[in-house]
Amino acid sequence: MKYNPNQIEAKWQKYWAENQTFAASNNSEKPKHYVLDMFPYPSGAGLHVGHPLGYIASDVYARYKRHQGYNVLHPMGYDSFGLPAEQYAIQTGQRPEDTTAVNIDGGLDKEGNQIAGYRKQLDAIGFSFDWSREVRTSNPDYYKHTQWIFIQLFNSWYNKDTDQAEDIATLTAVFQKEGNAQVNAVCDDAIPEFSAKQWNAYAKETQEKMLLHYRMTYLAETEVNWCPGLGTVLANDEIINGVSERGGFAVVRKKMTQWSMRISAYAERLLQGLSTIDWSESIKESQRNWIGKSVGAMVSFRVNEHPENISVFTTRPDTIFGVTFMTLAPEHELVAKITTPEQKAAVEAYIQKTSKRSERERMADVKNISGVFTGAYAEHPFTKEAIPVWIGDYVLAGYGTGAVMAVPCGDERDYAFANFFKGQNGMLAIKNIFDKDISEAAFGSKDGFQLVDSDFLTGLGYKEGTKKAIEALEKQNQGFGKINYRLRDAVFSRQRYWGEPFPVYYINGLPQMIDPQHLPIILPEVEKYLPTEDGLPPLGNAAVWAWDTTANKVVNTDLVDNKTIFPLELNTMPGWAGSSWYWMRYMDANNQGEFASAEALKYWESVDLYIGGSEHATGHLLYSRFWNKFLKDKGFAPTEEPFKKLINQGMILGTSAFVYRLEGTNTFVSKNKIEAQTVQPIHADVSFVNASDELDIQKFKAWRQDYKDAEFIVEDNGKYIVGREVEKMSKSKYNVVTPDDICAEYGADTLRLYEMFLGPLEQAKPWNTAGISGVFGFLKKLWRLYVDENNGCIVNQDPASKDNLKTLHKTIKKVADDIENFSFNTSVSQFMICVNELSTQNCHSRAILEPLAIVISPYAPHIAEELWSLLGHEGSIAMVSFPVFEPKHLVESEKEYPVSFNGKMRFTITLPLDLTKDQIEAIVMKDERTIKQLEGRTPNKVIIVPGKIINLVG
């Protein structure tokens, strides 16, 4: 009876599915534990062996917690809205919902491509997911709740006094009684003050416009990252090196009317919450930097010959007398107003050039210096001196006020800017206000200086100077103390088709929410997924996309009369909308009435363990915390934070294969024959290469038409040796290894153990298929402890020996400790040691092998289930209690002593550890081997160190 993983795994996967083995209960008396993976976007490429790494780790942990007696929620679903499906729809004309369904469920797409299907691939690896709770963010029964949350955000404002979001009705009640003078809200800047009388006299339309300045989600003209190639706005985290992450298209800055989320209201709570959660310090620091808290002052500079003021936020008000020039962001609204006619052409050219660079690129670029003088001057608040106003791309419109007071003597970037433009029109000599030399560099420290040439601040340091400067600014009404955050409100519109439709229609250009009882508003059919000819988003192509306020349904677009039938929003929500609350839907996934019942939310509370990639640090992980806090304020989420513990798994890298083509020819040279020749390295499919790095030349030639007649210069043994390089696993690098292939050849348990064995979970590590055979051999050796090829199950009732028990309990302790500490790779090493020791001990005792099957079950569940069944048990091993470690079995009662004569070891003797020196000496001296060695002599000295050595001297 040989180990047959394919047969065993199919049997138990079928059993788990039919018996709903891993279905969690919302009404269990067991303690709860919620283990969650970041759900995948279902691409047509399917899974490669790098994708399941985190899933396997979370599955080991979830299975272990079930063995510990927990009611474990371990669900899975799909983040199924996104740009790739839409890009594919544009290229092929296939409906995104069709390709997404095939990518998940498998089958042939309309192009004739065979798609494996995420669900089949995941099932084949033996994950203990509760599939009864599966979610797909692109399904209407899911996104109707995303639309509902959007409506809650629209109907809320952030009250600074209570430090939470509240219903907009509480704000309008204040307006009706008191106006807005005493309202302490997170809102837009420069809102006009009005009294209760004025508010009550406003037309409804005016009131609605005013409320948009306060709502948690609002329409506003915003500076955005526009990607013409994708036809949509992108978030900062969707841009890499100035181009779109998806497709590598150019991105420019432009102003558009967009929906935005007032995440800035939660900046301080997002910061403070980091101290309450068990996340890596690197992720926390990424979020701290992204939120970017700064303490300082707002300063107002009057612009000469203009009615406008330039507002500046500075963290160093103590350096106010060192201001040499000012710099505005090129997008700043005042630039066009204050630029002189002489400088207009240069300023406009610079603005056009800057619009092609993303904010991230501008922030990261500290080497290149650029800027243009506007010709305008501002007035110093104290000295009244004229300060030249420049524009420069190192200042961002969305950070602070989009303007800086440049103090070159105290800031390296200002120092470099001033020196770069030294002597040019509009650049004054650097003012030094420190008692320090700045001839070589700026003095940026907040300590160890006294201010000079600073009027009433002269002689002061940082703390005293800051306090006194703010007092003086407030006294003359030109500034005040302020805490500022880098975190900006999140743009929430996308000019795409494949995303959640907004539950919004427009009356006279003002947004109106559709009553939640009429949700979902379902994505309409369109003929084309591209923007319309007049530049509207793809939903502008929809023939049925208008809201009938009488019938409360979507009707034909050409029926719009702006009386009872109105246009619907044409933008869709961004990719992060559905993923910002999905963990709560898993708690009650089949609830048709609400996103989750209060009872389910109270029971599961939050995610105990969350595993996913660190690339989501300032995207999904921040937006999720924001939405969770908002829903907590509104009485829906039970906790302030969504994820108690977060682990970021590392990447499994591919080992690429390279062939070397002689430049200008179709001749390929083997790696060791290149020498001084000029060659072009070309990726070859790794499936053509064996474990010895030898290329199958015939397969390579048949791979592509242009290689059909290729010639090869081979090694002396006739083989072509490829080069190897470790890099990201990707279809474009032809280094992808699919889990399907590994499972088919070696079994899922081998794949699971091997991925855990590769190295620490958080680290990146290269994949090497050649190494997997060792793990497969281990499983076969484990099998042979229980089963003989000819005689079937050979487990007996023999009592366990001391060595057997020691081996087992070492393993129980090591595995339990490793799982609790997420050190999965060392557990696999311990399994191998354990099986080797038990094989040497010729152990087939049920007392040892039965608990061993449970211990290995989280890692290799299929073979564990089969062995459990062979041992005579009915049902699954999944819920059986984890064996209890007993320390007594690791306590040594005997010691094998080396017995030496004049320092040379001659034999060993095993003695109880509780013997005294005299007892040990008496036993050794009577031993026949000692008598033979001494040949009648009496040793001069007998050295005994209990538990260590015995040495007879002389």
The per-residue pLDDT of the chain, averaged, comes to: 94
Q: Is 197 inside a domain boundary?
A: no
pLDDT value at position 228? 80
Segment 556-610, tens digit of pLDDT: 999 999 999 999 999 999 999 999 999 999 999 999 999 999 999 999 999 999 9
- Displacement of CA 142 from its chain's centroid (Å): 22
pLDDT value at position 223? 75
Examine the domain organization and report whether 817 and 942 are in the same domain.
Answer: no
With DSSP H G I counted as helix, E B as strand and the rest as coil, what are the percentages for the chain, rounded to 5? 40, 20, 40
Examine the domain organization and report whether 376 and 460 are in the same domain.
Answer: yes
Examine the domain organization and report whether 347 and 477 are in the same domain.
Answer: yes
Examine the domain organization and report whether 949 and 936 are in the same domain.
Answer: yes
pLDDT value at position 104? 94
pLDDT value at position 91? 78
Examine the domain organization and report whether 719 and 786 are in the same domain.
Answer: no
Cα separation, 585 vs 600, whole angstroms: 10
**Number of folded domains that form the chain:** 5
Segment 473-485, tens digit of pLDDT: 999 999 999 999 9
Residue 344: domain span: 293-485
Examine the domain organization and report whether 787 and 668 are in the same domain.
Answer: no
Segment 270-306, tens digit of pLDDT: 999 999 999 999 999 999 999 999 999 999 999 999 9
Query: What DSSP string describes 689-735?
Result: B-TT-BB-HHHHHHH-GGGTT-EEE--TTSPPBPEEEEEE--GGGT-
CB proximity list for 593: less than 8 A, separation 6 or greater:
none
CB proximity list for 689: less than 8 A, separation 6 or greater:
657, 695, 696, 722
Q: Is 532 inside a domain boundary?
A: no
Residue with tokens 């910061």, as numbered in its chain: 271
pLDDT over 80 (residue 155): yes
Last residue of one domain, picked from the residues 609, 632, 648: 648
**Strand 164-167 versus strand 156-159 pairing type:** antiparallel
Q: What is the pTM of this model?
A: 0.87
Q: Is 515 inside a domain boundary?
A: no
Query: What DSSP string describes 751-807?
Result: HHHHHHHTS-TTS-EE--GGGHHHHHHHHHHHHHHHEETTTEE--B-PPPPHHHHHH
Segment 232-272, tens digit of pLDDT: 777 776 777 778 877 788 888 778 889 999 999 999 999 99
Listed residue (103, 141, 99) closest to 122, CA to CA: 103
Cα separation, 165 vs 113, whole angstroms: 49
Exposed/middle/buried for residue 926 (C-beta within 10 Å: 0-12, 13-18, 19+): exposed
Segment 343-392, tens digit of pLDDT: 999 999 999 998 878 777 787 777 899 999 999 999 999 999 999 999 99
The 3-state secondary structure of 592-634 reads CCCCCCHHHHHHHCCEEEEEECHHHCCCHHHHHHHHHHHHHHC
Containing 896, the helix (H) or strand (E) segment is strand 894-901
Helices (H) and strands (E) in the chain, counts: 29, 39
Give me the amino acid identity at 78.
Y
**Do 838 and 847 form a contact (C-beta atoms < 8 A)?**
no
pLDDT value at position 843? 97
Q: Is 580 inside a domain boundary?
A: yes
Examine the domain organization and report whether 309 and 359 are in the same domain.
Answer: yes
Examine the domain organization and report whether 704 and 815 are in the same domain.
Answer: no
Last residue of one domain, picked from the residues 437, 462, 485: 485
Examine the domain organization and report whether 627 and 720 are in the same domain.
Answer: no
Q: Is 100 inside a domain boundary?
A: yes
More confident residue, 114 or 753: 753
In this structure, what CATH number is given to the domain that contains residue 943? 3.10.20.590
731 is in an annotated binding site: yes
Listed residue (283, 326, 333, 287) closest to 308, CA to CA: 333
Give the mean pLDDT of 538-548. 96
Give the mean pLDDT of 616-644. 97
pLDDT above 70 covers a percentage of the chain that reads 100
Q: Backbone dihedral region of 501: left (phi > 0), alpha (psi from -120 to 50 degrees) or beta? A: beta
DSSP state of 105: H
**Do 519 and 118 form a contact (C-beta atoms < 8 A)?**
no
pLDDT value at position 501? 98
Segment 299-334, tens digit of pLDDT: 999 999 999 999 999 999 999 999 999 999 999 999
Q: Is 559 inside a domain boundary?
A: no
pLDDT value at position 222? 75
Containing 350, the helix (H) or strand (E) segment is helix 344-354
Q: Is 201 inside a domain boundary?
A: no
Q: Is 735 inside a domain boundary?
A: no
Examine the domain organization and report whether 870 and 912 are in the same domain.
Answer: no
Examine the domain organization and report whether 611 and 713 are in the same domain.
Answer: no
Last residue of one domain, picked from the residues 674, 704, 728: 728
In this structure, what CATH number is given to the domain that contains residue 469? 3.90.740.10
pLDDT over 80 (residue 622): yes
Cα separation, 887 vs 839, whole angstroms: 23
pLDDT value at position 789? 87
Joined together, the tokens standing for residue 720 give 């072509």
Examine the domain organization and report whether 823 and 936 are in the same domain.
Answer: no
Alpha helices, H only, 798-860: 802-820, 824-840, 846-856
Number of residues that make up the chain? 954
pLDDT value at position 237? 65
Instruction: Identify the band that residue 730 occupies on the pLDDT scale cut at 50, 70 and 90.
Output: confident
